[in-house]
Structure formats: structure tokens, C-alpha cells
């Protein structure tokens, strides 16, 4: 199982939110590149980079941070937050991201997202599904839809999407453990999926549990920043 550390960006700084609430923001480092280099030095190979300003504005904002990290590390970066137009997709790839992370467009503008999959290649996208009670949530988690997570995943697998990560909104940033049962159900329905767990990871036992049920990857954020999981300890995955 691949460990994918997360860097969330507001105003070019590395922050974390609790339950997606911008009012519950904590700044961990003024220089995201320093954080990314620490991850790389620890032997991690991937990075989940989230532009929270972009997510709020509906257009990519912190592409400069992406450009710097991509230029100065060899991390395989997926970048999301504010990818709403084709121009945003181009900016993300031109700035050095290996994968564009798309969430709400896939929910609200299916035709547009499918056209991107055809144009850029389905293997260039990481599909993000935010979930509350097995239903898809969008818009920085502010609204819940009636779309069942399993239908959503099935639809995009048929369009060629290979990598999907799923965040249980109720767990994110709370350090209370991930939604292992939900992920287990998803993996039972879609055993071929490259599935990445996200949200709630608080210790190594959580990661062991996710590996045990067959997750291909796990996104870890706050647990690293709060010192619950050391970078050294992640080397065994």
C-alpha cells in the first residue's frame, strides 16, 4: 500500500482544516516545499497537493506552489482544488502534476469530465469522491447529493478511470480513524479498483487496517503534522 502524504494550501502556506471548515484552519508551515522535501527524504514517492483557495474560488490558484514542488522534488504529484475548466487542467499538467484530481466537476458536469478523460487520458486523473452517509458531497463538502457512492464509482470505472480516492467527510481531520467499513464495501464491489483511502487516519494501526482490507493507497495528512505518525514509521509500507 502506497502512503500518500497530503499538503493543503491556503495563501501559499501548508495548512489543515477540520471537517473541511475554513474557519478551523491551522498553519503548519509557511513553505510547502520544505514539507514536500521532508516527505521525499523519508522515502515517500507520492504527494497529494490540495489548493484550498482554488476549491473555494472555483479556479486553480496555487499553481506556483505545484510548479516549485514539481521542479525541486521527484515526487509524483496529484493536484486538486479548483479544477473547473479545461484551462485549469492544462495549468495543472503544465505546472508539473502527474495527475489532476477532480471531484465536483465529475459530480455536477459529467459530460465535461468525460470529455477531459477522452482528451487527456483517463489514466491522468485521480477521481475524488467526498462521502457523507454513503452519498456524494460536493462544494467543499457544503452540500450533500442523492448520488450513491457505489453508482458514482461504477459509472466512472466504465469511462476508464483507474484511481479513485474516497474521503468520508465526517472523519476528515478529526484523527478518529478512517471509514474502514465503507472502504471494505467499496473494495468488495470493485476488487479491481486502485482505491485510495482518505480522511481520519490517526495512527499506524489505522494504516494496517486499510492495508488489510486491500486499499492500494492511503492519504495521510494531519496525523503526520500532529506527530501521531512519524515519517520514519511509514517506511515499512
Is residue 123 annotated as part of the catalytic site, yes or no? no
* Torsion angle of the four alpha carbons 229, 81, 37, 31, in this order, in degrees rounded to the nearest 10: -100
Q: How many domains does the chain have?
A: 1
The model's pLDDT over 14-69, given as tens digits with 9 standing for 90+, comes to 999 887 788 889 999 999 999 999 999 999 999 999 999 999 999 999 999 999 99
Is residue 130 annotated as part of the catalytic site, yes or no? yes
The model's pLDDT over 175-210, given as tens digits with 9 standing for 90+, comes to 889 999 999 999 999 999 999 999 999 999 999 999
Domain of 204 in residue numbering reads as 2-236
CATH of the domain at 142: 3.20.20.70
51, 53, 88, 130: the catalytic one is 130
Alpha carbon distance 216, 213 (integer Å): 10
8, 53, 168, 172: the catalytic one is 8
The percent of residues in the chain predicted with pLDDT above 90, rounded, is 87
Q: Residue 14 pairs with which residues in a beta bridge? A: 9, 29
Alpha carbon distance 73, 165 (integer Å): 23
Of 129, 105, 138, which Cα lies nearest the Cα of 179?
129
Region for 129 from its dihedrals, namely left if φ exceeds 0, alpha if ψ lies in -120 to 50, beta otherwise: beta
pLDDT interval class at 171 (50, 70, 90) = confident
Of 212, 123, 213, 102, which Cα lies nearest the Cα of 165?
102
Predicted pLDDT at 17: 85
DSSP states of 78-146: EEESS--SHHHHHHHHHTT-SEEEE-HHHHH-HHHHHHHHHHH-GGGEEEEEEEETTEEEETTTTEEEE
Amino acid at each position: 500500500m502506497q502512503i500518500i502524504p497530503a499538503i493543503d494550501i491556503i495563501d501559499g502556506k501548508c495548512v489543515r482544516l477540520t471537517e473541511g471548515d475554513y474557519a478551523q484552519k491551522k498553519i503548519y508551515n509557511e513553505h510547502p516545499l520544505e514539507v514536500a522535501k521532508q516527505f521525499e527524504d523519508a522515502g515517500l514517492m507520492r504527494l497529494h497537493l490540495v489548493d484550498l483557495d482554488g476549491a473555494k474560488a472555483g479556479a486553480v490558484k496555487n499553481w506556483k506552489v505545484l510548479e516549485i514542488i514539481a521542479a525541486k522534488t521527484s515526487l509524483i504529484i496529484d493536484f486538486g482544488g479548483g479544477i473547473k475548466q479545461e484551462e485549469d487542467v492544462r495549468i495543472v499538467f503544465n505546472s508539473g502534476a502527474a495527475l489532476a484530481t477532480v471531484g465536483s466537476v465529475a459530480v455536477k458536469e459529467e459530460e465535461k469530465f468525460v470529455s477531459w478523460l477522452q482528451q487527456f487520458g483517463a489514466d491522468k486523473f485521480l477521481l475524488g469522491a467526498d462521502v457523507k452517509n454513503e452519498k456524494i458531497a460536493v462544494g467543499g463538502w457544503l452540500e450533500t447529493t442523492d448520488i450513491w457512492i457505489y453508482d458514482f464509482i461504477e459509472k466512472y470505472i466504465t469511462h476508464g478511470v483507474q484511481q479513485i480516492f474516497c474521503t468520508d467527510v465526517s472523519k476528515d481531520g478529526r484523527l478518529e480513524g478512517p471509514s474502514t467499513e465503507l472502504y471494505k464495501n467499496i473494495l468488495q464491489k470493485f476488487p479491481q479498483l486502485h482505491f485510495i483511502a482518505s480522511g481520519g487516519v490517526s495512527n499506524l494501526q489505522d494504516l494496517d487496517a486499510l492495508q488489510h482490507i486491500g486499499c492500494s493507497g492511503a492519504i495521510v495528512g494531519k496525523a503526520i503534522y500532529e506527530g501521531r505518525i512519524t515519517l520514519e514509521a511509514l517506511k515499512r509500507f
